[in-house]
Amino acid sequence: MLKEKLKNFKIILASGSPRRQEFFNKLDLDFEIRLKPVKEKYPNRLTYYEISNYLAKLKALPFEGELKTNDILITSDTIVWHKNTALGKPHDEDEAFSILKSLSGTTHEVITSVCFTTTTFEKTLYNITKVTFKELLDKEINFYIKTYKPFDKAGAYGIQEWIGQIGVTKIEGSYFNVMGLPTHLVYKTLNDIANKQ
């Protein structure tokens, strides 16, 4: 369906995340993966979805000047927002433990921003999902960190992994957004772009 509509476009996914790549495959889209290194730093004045929006746009900057007429570049960023703080990816086991301990028995928000860039426009959208964890035991947190090594994940967890299965008691919003991509928004936006051609 959408693949046919987009046959005159080239979709470029600028993400090394295997989960995001898998989502694009499941959306039945032809796409190319193109990666460019970016230092993921943002101004301290930014809060909430401003942070993920900024970082999603930042990831598009290295492609400036090299996009062709029918290219659609997609960049994305996910943060966990908890107690007025953005939780990124943990650097080590101690930080991962500290993050998961802070999420234990509470509700946090997962925010994913997606930036669509062409030669003529840029559009950034975001999606927010609320996730509630049960009170996690220290031994559960330690087992998860040692077994799954969640150092590439914002908030130090993957909801699709063991910790999500045993620990998440409630979700309000898109499950796929928590995994790193609000697929419904991506599908809708690409449809809109295709319909405007």
The catalytic residues are: 77
Q: Which amino acid is at 13?
A: L
Q: How far apart are CA 155 and CA 144, in angstroms?
A: 13
User: Contact 193/116 with Cβ under 8 angstroms?
Assistant: yes
Q: How far apart are CA 163 and CA 96, in angstroms?
A: 13
| Contact partners, residue 191, CB within 8 Å, separation at least 6 | 2, 5
Q: How many CB atoms lie within 10 A of CB 72?
A: 20
Place of tokens 């999500």: 164
DSSP string, 79-117: EEEETTEEE---SSHHHHHHHHHHHTTSEEEEEEEEEEE
Looking only at the bridges linking them, the beta strands covering 168-172 and 107-117 are unpaired
Vertex 175 angle, CA 173 and 176, to 5°? 120
